[in-house]
Structures are given as structure tokens and as C-alpha cells.
Amino acid sequence: MLLRLPTSVSEAQRCLTEGAIPVGGATLVWAGWQRDGFPEQAVSLREVPEANVLGAEELGAAVLLHQVDERVPEVLRRAAAGIGTGAVRRTATVGGNIVGSTLRCLLPAAVVLGARALVLTPEGPVGTDLAELLAKQPLLLSLHWRTPVASGYRKLPEAAGGPPPYVVASAVHAPEGTRPLLRVAVREGYEVISETTPCDTDTDTDTDAVLEALDGTTLGSLPVQVREVVHEQVTEVLGRAGAR
């Protein structure tokens, strides 16, 4: 197998048109290739600058999970830190987790951040939303979002041999001139459900109203212990947002 390492978006685009298969960190595809056979050529984005961005409002697809640090919002940082073992996080990439993984541990965090994706198409880089990214699975270059006022993340304990653990993520956004907005996302099995509600961050009464509103959505059908975690996290995140 020929591994191609382009150093620009245009070169990566050429690799794709010539049939190279995206490899990411290879943590997910390697076993399949060993079983089914290796492709003639693969392409890695680890030398492409646009796929290695890491900042307050951007995260590249080629960034390794262990490199995701305090430059990104708390919800995304904690999500990355909770994936697999240290050895896995030193080889797995952001793009591989979101596009190539069935668990998509970073997805709830990306959802509550309202992230959009920059992807590479035959026509060049284009922006798209997360729904289209997951449906069409183009080559992801990077994620971009607006910095939230506060955010939170929690992965519930995993039962041995059971389904994937529940993940709860939340973030408060306060666009200038508008009422703050709370986004909550929960991974249930292999799916992510999410809800959005307006909120204020300066009264306990509003926190109660927000929790009641969330209970009236699809989140209200979650198991009791998961709803309790949602309530705890939303209360804490709204409290931190109001203290700023």
C-alpha cells in the first residue's frame, strides 16, 4: 500500500481523485484492511495545514485526540480526553472519530457547539453542517464554531458487555443582541439526540423553567438516571454562565 502525504489541500484533492483512501489515524480502518485487504493507496492529512488547526473556535481533522487541549471549549476537551486509552488518543484523530467511528464520541460536543464542518469535495473545500457531514461522509478538513459562554460534558459509567455509555453535553451561547441559547445533546446507543431552548442565566427560576422545557422534549423520554445527569449538568452550566 502506498501512503500519500499531501502538504496542501489541492494536493490532497488530487490524491482523492486518483483513488487514494483516507486513512486518518488508522485506529479504525487497520483491522478491516488486515481482514479484507489493503487498498493500493491511502492518503493522510497529517501534513495539510488546514487539517491541523487548533484554536478557540477551530479544530482540524488530523489533530490527534491527545493534542486537544484548553484552547478549545471545555465540552470538546473533556470529550476528547475520555476516548479510549492514552495509547488510542495518541494515534486516533478528530476526523476519524467523527466520520469514521460508529461511537462518534466527539459528536455530542460538536453538536452543542453548533459546529460546522469544512470538507474537501471534488470541487474544493466547502462548508457544511454536521447532518450532511454524517450523511455523505466527505473528507473532513476541520470543525468551526462560535465560543460558548459555558459548556459541560459527562460520560456515564459503561456496563461491561452492554451498549455504549450515555454521554451528556451542553453549552450556553449568547449571540450579541439576542437571548442566550442552551443546547443539550445526549448520545443514546449509537445515536445523538439534541434539543435547544432559550435561557437566562441570572435566576434560579429561569433554570427551573429551562429544565421543565427540556423535559417536554425528546430528552424527557430518557431513563431517569440520565435525565438526572442532564438536570445536574444544565444547572451547573447555567450557573457558570451567569457568573461570567
Mean pLDDT of the chain: 90
How large is the average pLDDT for residues 217-222? 96
Parallel/antiparallel/unpaired status of strands 150-155 and 167-173: antiparallel
The reported pTM is 0.92
Q: What is the pLDDT of residue 3?
A: 86
* Cβ-based neighbours of 144, under 8 Å, separated by 6 or more: 57, 58, 115, 116, 117, 118, 127
pLDDT at residue 227 tops 60: yes
Q: What is the pLDDT of residue 158?
A: 81
Name the residue among 233, 223, 228, 213 with its Cα closest to residue 169. Answer: 233
Collapse the DSSP code of 140 into the 3-class scheme (helix H, G, I; strand E, B; otherwise coil) and give the result.
Answer: strand
Query: How many whole angstroms separate alpha carbon 98 and alpha carbon 104?
Result: 5
pLDDT at residue 186 tops 90: yes
pLDDT at residue 205 tops 60: no
Are 5 and 20 spatial neighbours (Cβ–Cβ below 8 Å)? no
pLDDT at residue 204 tops 60: no
Q: What is the pLDDT of residue 175?
A: 83
**Residue 26 — very low, low, confident or very high, per pLDDT cuts 50/70/90?**
low
pLDDT at residue 82 tops 70: yes
* DSSP code at position 241: H
**Residue 206 — very low, low, confident or very high, per pLDDT cuts 50/70/90?**
confident
